[in-house]
Structure 1
């Protein structure tokens, strides 16, 4: 028997935030790009938001967590995943990644990159 898998995602969500390990990063801030992807088994296709993940909610979660200054990008990503699970416990996998544009290091660096993945134990 075949089974559907559904993906709901937001790509290239751009934010300015004060994340960074060093105190000056938390003062100056930086530009970030976030990708958030969820996957789950749909319970039906009745044209109702209750049957899916609302990507407006995903954007709200990202925007709220980007306002909470953290030293490590991994902490931000973990917080985003926790909030998605809280809102959508039926989600089976979550992949969230973040690029820090022009990280403050010597040389020309386009971006640093951190990714965190979650898989339900169900």
Structure 2
């Protein structure tokens, strides 16, 4: 009987604040609005906790978020997909990944704290 332990590690960035110009309406793309981005990934921990090559580097996650948030799109669905695709390309060993974007105080009638779009990924062998 094996005594090897298998740990699932989570690496995440929460509430990454970005001013960006995403939106369906031309006004949104001119004035911009604040967004909050969350990213969370899980993977099998290698056991080496002091080697950056054996984990998901949250500085890389932050770079991906900032680059994709600066690339104006009409739909947040496109932005979350691009972020998730880049994370999977950089870290093909992830088991799950989730990205969500909140548009703060979206410009529509009523008092709305935020709108929200989220996309999740599960590695094929995990489905």
TM-score normalised by L of structure 2: 0.92
Q: CA deviation at 1:48?
A: 0.5
Secondary structure, aligned partner of 2:124: coil
The reply on whether 1:83 has 2:77 as its aligned counterpart is no
The reply on whether 1:42 has 2:45 as its aligned counterpart is yes
Secondary structure, aligned partner of 1:12: strand
Q: Distance in 1 between matches of 2:42 and 2:88?
A: 12
Any idea what the Cα deviations from partners look like across 1:52-103, whole Å, max 9, x if unmatched? 0000000000000000000110110000001101111101100111110010
Unaligned runs of 5+ residues in structure 2 are none
Q: CA deviation at 1:43?
A: 2.1
Residues 1-122 of structure 1 aligned to structure 2 (within 5 Å) = 2-122=5-125
Unaligned runs of 5+ residues in structure 1 are none
Q: Distance in 2 between matches of 1:54 and 1:92?
A: 15
Q: CA deviation at 1:44?
A: 2.5
Q: Distance in 2 between matches of 1:82 and 1:19?
A: 18
Q: Distance in 1 between matches of 2:49 and 2:36?
A: 33
Q: Distance in 2 between matches of 1:112 and 1:74?
A: 12
- The number of residue pairs the alignment matches comes to 122
Moved over 3 A (4+): none
- Taking only aligned residues, the RMSD between alpha carbons, in angstroms, comes to 1.1
TM-score normalised by L of structure 1: 0.96
Any idea what the Cα deviations from partners look like across 1:17-36, whole Å, max 9, x if unmatched? 00001111111110000110
